[in-house]
Chains A and B, each alone.
Chain A
Amino acid sequence: MKPIFMTYTRGDLINLAILLIVGVVVIPMTVSSGYWYTSILIPWLCLALATIGQQIIMGYTGQLALGAAGFMAAGAFACFNLILRVPGIPFVGALLISGLIAAAFGILFGLPSLRVRGIYLMVATLASQFFIIWMIDKFGWFKNYDSSGIITAQDIVIMGKPFTSPIEMYLVIVAVVTPMTLIAMNMARGSTGRNWMSVRDMDIAAESMGVSLLKTKLQAFAISSFYCGVAGALFAFTYLKSLEPVAFDIKLSFKVLFMVILGGLGTINGAFIGAGFILLFPVLLNYIGNNVFHGAIDATIISAIEQVVFGVLMIIFMIYEPLGMAKLWDTTKTKIIGLINNKKS
């Protein structure tokens, strides 16, 4: 029988334990400002989850898909409608089913990947982005016939207890993101991930080795959009607290794509690093503009700087470090450990 969980080294387990303690104990005990939860930690974890989804399809399976925001919208609106229309459905159940609905869309729009690849696939998957948003806009049922088109997300209620304060919502997200990240790492390290990577590196060779392209590609699309769907539902229910198709436009898809590229293709921790960087960098710039220069720098210039820096970084990473910030982090870590070891000896 195949092992369900891959074997982990002691280092992995120590890392996990440290991260869990920081995430569940240290942060809730030390961070008290709502701003940190609602504007930084919550969107960061949500977008990191979506980035893991994009990572699976792009970084691991090598399919240039561009439609993460569309699947996020599918997940968000599915979750809203499930809670609205299915009485007594538990939040976690709704979240899972919305992930599955997004996965169904993923399979549907993953079908072209069997015929086209590279840039052509990117164009084909772009359709999913526009189709899902159009569908939600066009049919009033998805929005419960709200005239303005922006609906309020319901409160998260788990076992009769509402989770509405920033810290409670943060804990809900941690409870969802942690196992999903572990599963993603597990898949990436196991036979599933090896199949993905073999398709990525050379699909003809993979096929001749007995890897089914159809199954592998569609599986990757399904899992990827499942992650995006859950991330979208969490994003709408905890961060935006409202559902609006415009919030899931093509710009968000590109953002998720940049998170993958800057974070590092084919790495799970790169998803977190990339999401953190892209989300926090504008906040940091805006903060510097206001608190160091007191508005002496025009907001338009700050916004332009942001674009320039992203563009330059993208090019630099593409040329010098295609594996992204995750690789950079790894190298730094190895160097520091090497230094410490040298001193010891």
Chain B
Amino acid sequence: MLAKTFKKLASTLTVVVALFSSLAIPQTANSAETQYFPIASSRVGPYSAMGTGYYGAQIDYLNYVNMTGGVNGVMLTWQECETEYNAVKTVECYQRLLEKDGQRIVVFDTLGTPGAYAVINRMAKDNVVLAQYGYGRTDGADGRVWPWVFNAASHYWSQIAVKLKFMAEIEGGIDKMKGKKIVHLHIDSAYGREPLPAMRKICADWGTELVEISIPPPGLEQQSQWLQIRKEKPDWVTFWGAGSGMNSTAMTNAARINFPRDRMMYVTFGAAEEDMYPAGDAAIGTYAVANALPGEYPLVKEIKNKVYGAGKGNLADESRIGSVYWNRGLGAAVMWIEGLRNAQKMHNKVGKAVNGAEFRDGYEAINMTEARMKELGVDGMLAPFAISCANHEGAGKFAVMQWDGKKFNQVTGWEAPLDPAFIRGLVEASAAKFAKENNITPKKC
């Protein structure tokens, strides 16, 4: 009897061991040149809609590049680490992903301002580019102080300036903004506060009253804040939330106090289909801005056919291909590979892996002209832009969209702030303050 049980146990064990070892075969055992990328994803927790779409698109694009012959023959490898949008875990993931098989990462993307701040000071020493795709530390746009930090496409200060410009247009001019009241309703974190320095200055210039109301994370409790909004009776609300739970709650609360949805402007990280659906009809009319527009662009279709056709897609729900977060992740990944391509060319390493410093040069040389974007199949999805040694922001432009209950409709083209030089001045002043506090000599450009 006992012997029988043992036999059974032994055979089960063999099966388990065999299963393990069959799965444990190294993924990249070939000798071809490879370039290694980190995927510091945030698929778990309140921000999962954002993380699954964004990082899913990055993996899909890396897969797509590999299926079409790599970057001049260099195959892309990657490793994923779950950060849960948590700064402490992001640090751990950064250290873990830093090196794999003797190759170091050349770029890092946290998709979160708190995470970006937590690793930002390691970039220069480790020779890694911090690619903040429309989030993160704003004064990183000054490449003289932050050579390793980029926030193309477009940072939060430009974003808030574009929003204020849009409001002024609807109200009938800047002079009409005098005496108006705007509530900045934001999650109480570094990310929620990031636009404030620029917003305060512009509002003071225009004579617009700014009321700042914060919501403690995760932001699902907003009753008292909306009560305050009802008392304040603002003309506009700029909403700076994170996670579909918080974003949709704001709209249902606005509906409850009858605050018009077409006087609410959502941040890029609340501007996705997943943020709108849960609020149902309460979401109709809400404005949001985009740095990568949703839609089936040629490259999106290609990936759908090639990668998903081969069953290698990363998204569990294929209907999300071409949605806001997915397209944004695609935009970020396209820039990585464009930077890699430039780096290979600039440093005579075509068909070879590059190191962090070479990648940085390549990334800084990105020039997304309309013609280039057409070649890549993303024209119209992103605003055309170029990065330079001093300017790491890129386009600095956003498109305003409005939710109609089923999808976003684009209402404006790619809009720049009214006074880009003013925003740039703020960026440079902030970067100069940082450089002085930390004894950094700005690079000559």
Contacts and interface: CB of A to CB of B under 8 A. Distances in A.
Nearest to A291: B24
Contacts of A43: 92
A178 interface: no
A266 B271 CA distance: 50
B27 A242 contact: no
Given A241-B122, A299-B80, A147 B91 contact: no
A147 B193 contact: yes
B217 A35 contact: no
B188 interface: yes
Contacts of A148: 113, 117, 137, 190, 193-194
A38 B194 CA distance: 28
A182 interface: no
A302 B83 CA distance: 12
Contacts of B120: 242
Contacts of A38: 91, 95
Contacts, number: 94
B189 A39 contact: no
B217 A300 contact: no
A290 B113 CA distance: 25
Nearest to B188: A137
A170 interface: no
B80 A147 contact: no
A239 interface: yes
Contacts of A18: none
Interface in B71-87: 79-82, 84, 87
Interface string A279-300: 0000100110011111110111
B328 interface: no
Interface residues of B, number: 39
Interface in B82-110: 82, 84, 87-88, 91-92, 95-96, 98-99
A125 to B, nearest CB: 19
A35 B96 contact: yes
B23 A294 contact: yes
B327 interface: no
B323 interface: no
A283 B88 CA distance: 13
A316 B346 CA distance: 60
Interface in A211-263: 239-242, 244, 246-247
29 contacts: A34-B98, A35-B95, A35-B99, A38-B95, A39-B91, A137-B188, A147-B196, A148-B113, A148-B137, A149-B193, A150-B114, A152-B121, A240-B91, A240-B118, A241-B91, A241-B121, A241-B122, A242-B87, A246-B114, A283-B96, A286-B82, A291-B24, A293-B23, A293-B24, A299-B43, A300-B43, A300-B44, A302-B82, A303-B82
Interface of A: 34-35, 38-39, 43, 137, 147-150, 152, 239-242, 244, 246-247, 283, 286-287, 290-296, 298-300, 302-303
Interface of B: 20, 23-24, 27, 41, 43-44, 48, 79-82, 84, 87-88, 91-92, 95-96, 98-99, 113-114, 117-118, 120-122, 137, 188-190, 193-194, 196-197, 217, 430, 438
